[in-house]
Amino acid sequence: MVTVPGGPYDITSGPDGALWFTLVEAGQVGRATPDGRVGVFDVGGGGPTVITPGPDGALWFTRYRDHHIGRITTAGEVSAVAVPDTGPYGITAGPDGALWFTETATHAVGRITPDGEASSFPLGSGFPSAIAAGADGALWCTLNADNALARLTPDGEITRFPLPTEAAAPVGIAADAGGLWFTEIAAGQIGRATYDGEITETPLPDRAARPHAVIATEDGCRFTEWAGSRVGALTDGGYRATALPESAEPHGLTLGPDGAVWVALEAGALARIG
């Protein structure tokens, strides 16, 4: 466990062999080595939220509160592009060399090139939350308010896939070669979608666990259980979980450069799960 004040929210593995994470309350982005050395960088406030490696060797992140897309190099050089009144949340590198992000306030998916040119694709409704680049060459996002997944091609073609469970409120999403994993925070379930849009759902033992973020792994997926203070795993062998300290508030997670799962705990720490 690495203590990090400031509200760790999301975490990812950077191209420099370190872990990069957002500090949503402190208005900072942090860097940690697997042996626990930590440095932080001021990024202009604005609630840095979700972070992802970009195609240019830098890290890109959403600033949800002040409507910017931020960029930080592995040397700590910070810049940002304004995306006014959009409420950017999820972000991922797309198949076209651009960054794609969800616009929660405008119910759209945004696109920004590494040189800062931004555009937007309206979805009409849904409160798009997390977003992932699929192995099918499209972008997939969860529609939290519309209880659906959306598939968006780089040229703007949109397809919606409703979820079987009503009011499941999907949030996190991750892609692998066979499809998508996603969390249903209100239903206490983990969903699986093929690239053709066939959806199955697995109820968790604790339906009040509020699963939040998810990553794909070689044997299935790992996900955070925000209310249950656990990291869950779903594999061919079924469900298992690792307990975290009470009220840890686990949010984002990633596979670290050391092969372990690392989790951002908003209560003030990074946790390593072997």
Q: What residue segments make up the domains of the chain, in order of their start?
A: 2-273
Cα angle value 253/257/260 (rounded, 5°): 55
Amino acid 206 reads: D
What is the predicted pLDDT for the residue at 84? Answer: 96
Structure tokens belonging to residue 108: 């759209």
d(CA 62, CA 231) in angstroms, rounded, equals 24
Residues in the chain with pLDDT < 70?
Answer: none
Decide yes or no: CATH 2.130.10.10 for domain 2-273.
yes
The one catalytic residue among 67, 107, 212, 251 = 251
Rounded to 5 degrees, φ, ψ at 160 are: -110, 145
What is the predicted pLDDT for the residue at 158? Answer: 97
The reply to whether 251 belongs to the active site is yes
What is the predicted pLDDT for the residue at 208? Answer: 98
pLDDT tens digit sequence for 9-58: 999 999 999 999 999 999 999 999 998 899 999 998 789 999 999 999 99
What is the predicted pLDDT for the residue at 274? Answer: 79
Which residue, 59, 39, 34, 57, is CA-closest to 49? 59
Amino acid 14 reads: G
Structure tokens belonging to residue 257: 């450069």
Q: How many angstroms separate the first and last alpha carbons of the chain?
A: 12
Q: What is the pTM of this model?
A: 0.97
Q: Which residue has the tokens 């925000």?
A: 226
What is the predicted pLDDT for the residue at 44? Answer: 85
DSSP 54: -
Name the CA dihedral angle for 195, 57, 216, 191, rounded to a multiple of 10 degrees. Answer: -50
Distances (CA, A) of 139 to 118, 162, 189, 248, 259: 16, 16, 22, 31, 26
Residue 227 contacts residue 186 (beta carbons within 8 Å): no
d(CA 210, CA 102) in angstroms, rounded, equals 21
d(CA 125, CA 147) in angstroms, rounded, equals 11
Residue 69 contacts residue 103 (beta carbons within 8 Å): no
What is the predicted pLDDT for the residue at 91? Answer: 98
Q: Which residue has the tokens 């849009």?
A: 197
